[in-house]
C-alpha cells in the first residue's frame, strides 16, 4: 500500500502556479527524499494473531479458492420420491425390501413437510408481503434521506473550510507579497555588496602588486 498522500492543487490561492518543469523537479526531490514506496507493514505494527479456522471454514475457503460452485442444499430430497420396485408385502422376510420402503417413506415425509412449509410461506407472502415490502422501502428511503442530509452537511462544512482558508490566505496576501519583495531586495543588496567587496578586494590586490614593483 502506497503511503504517498495525494496532492491537492486547490489549496494555494496567492502563490504563483509552478510550471510543469518546476513541479516535476519538486516531485523528483520529494521522491528522492521519501525513497521507494513502502509495500511492507511498518515495524511498529504488531503482528497478526495466528488464524485458526474450523474444518468446515477451511473446506469452504478451499472451495472458494478452487472456484467450485456452492452446494449448500441437496434439492433432490425435495423432489418426487420414486417408490421401490418391489412391494413390501411380496416378501416380508426380505430385510432389504423393508429398508428400501422405510427410506422411501422417510423421504416422502421430508418432502411433504417441506411442501407444507413452502405453501404456508407463500400464503403469508401473498397476504403480508406487499405491506412488508412497502414498509421496507419506506425505511430504506428514510435511511437514504438521512445519509443524503449528512452528506450535504459534510459538503457544506468542507465548502466553509475552503472559503475560510481562501479568505485567510487572501487577507495576508499583501503582507506575503511585501515580505517576498523585501526578501528579494535584501538578497539583491547582499549580492551587490558581495560584488562590490570583490571589486574592492581585487583593487587592493592590484595596488599591492603595483607597490611591490
Q: What is the pLDDT of residue 140?
A: 95
Q: Are residues 161 and 81 in the same domain?
A: yes
- Residue 69 within any structural domain of the chain: no
- Residue 80 within any structural domain of the chain: yes
- Residue 99 within any structural domain of the chain: yes
Number of domains within the chain: 2
Q: What is the pLDDT of residue 11?
A: 58
**Residues 91/121, Cβ–Cβ less than 8 Å:** no
- Residue 203 within any structural domain of the chain: yes
pTM surpassing 0.75? no
In angstroms, rounded to a whole number, what is the distance separating the alpha carbons of residues 37 and 156? Answer: 35
Q: Are residues 195 and 147 in the same domain?
A: no
Q: What is the pLDDT of residue 185?
A: 93
**Stretches in the chain below the pLDDT threshold 50:** 1-3
- Residue 21 within any structural domain of the chain: no
Q: Are residues 162 and 86 in the same domain?
A: yes
Give the pLDDT confidence of 78-113 residue by residue, as tens digits. Answer: 677 777 777 656 555 577 777 888 888 888 888 888
The residue range of the domain holding 187 is 173-213
- Phi, psi of 26, rounded to the nearest 5 degrees: -65, -45
Q: Are residues 80 and 164 in the same domain?
A: yes
Amino acid at each position: 500500500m502506497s503511503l504517498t498522500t495525494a496532492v491537492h492543487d486547490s489549496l494555494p490561492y496567492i502563490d504563483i502556479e509552478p510550471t510543469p518543469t518546476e513541479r516535476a523537479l519538486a516531485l523528483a526531490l520529494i521522491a528522492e527524499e521519501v525513497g521507494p514506496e513502502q509495500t511492507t507493514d511498518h515495524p511498529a505494527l504488531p503482528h497478526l494473531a495466528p488464524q485458526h479456522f474450523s474444518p468446515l471454514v477451511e473446506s469452504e475457503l478451499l472451495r472458494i479458492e478452487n472456484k467450485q460452485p456452492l452446494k449448500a442444499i441437496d434439492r433432490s430430497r425435495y423432489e418426487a420420491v420414486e417408490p421401490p420396485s418391489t412391494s413390501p408385502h411380496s416378501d416380508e422376510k426380505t430385510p432389504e425390501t423393508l429398508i428400501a420402503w422405510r427410506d422411501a417413506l422417510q423421504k416422502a415425509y421430508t418432502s411433504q413437510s417441506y411442501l407444507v412449509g413452502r405453501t404456508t410461506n407463500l400464503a403469508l407472502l401473498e397476504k403480508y408481503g406487499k405491506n412488508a415490502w412497502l414498509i421496507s422501502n419506506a425505511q430504506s428511503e428514510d435511511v437514504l434521506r438521512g445519509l443524503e442530509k449528512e452528506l450535504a452537511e459534510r459538503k457544506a462544512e468542507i465548502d466553509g473550510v475552503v472559503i475560510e482558508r481562501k479568505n485567510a490566505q487572501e487577507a495576508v496576501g499583501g503582507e506575503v507579497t511585501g515580505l517576498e519583495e523585501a526578501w528579494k531586495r535584501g538578497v539583491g543588496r547582499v549580492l551587490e555588496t558581495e560584488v562590490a567587496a570583490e571589486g574592492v578586494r581585487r583593487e587592493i590586490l592590484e595596488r599591492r602588486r603595483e607597490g611591490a614593483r
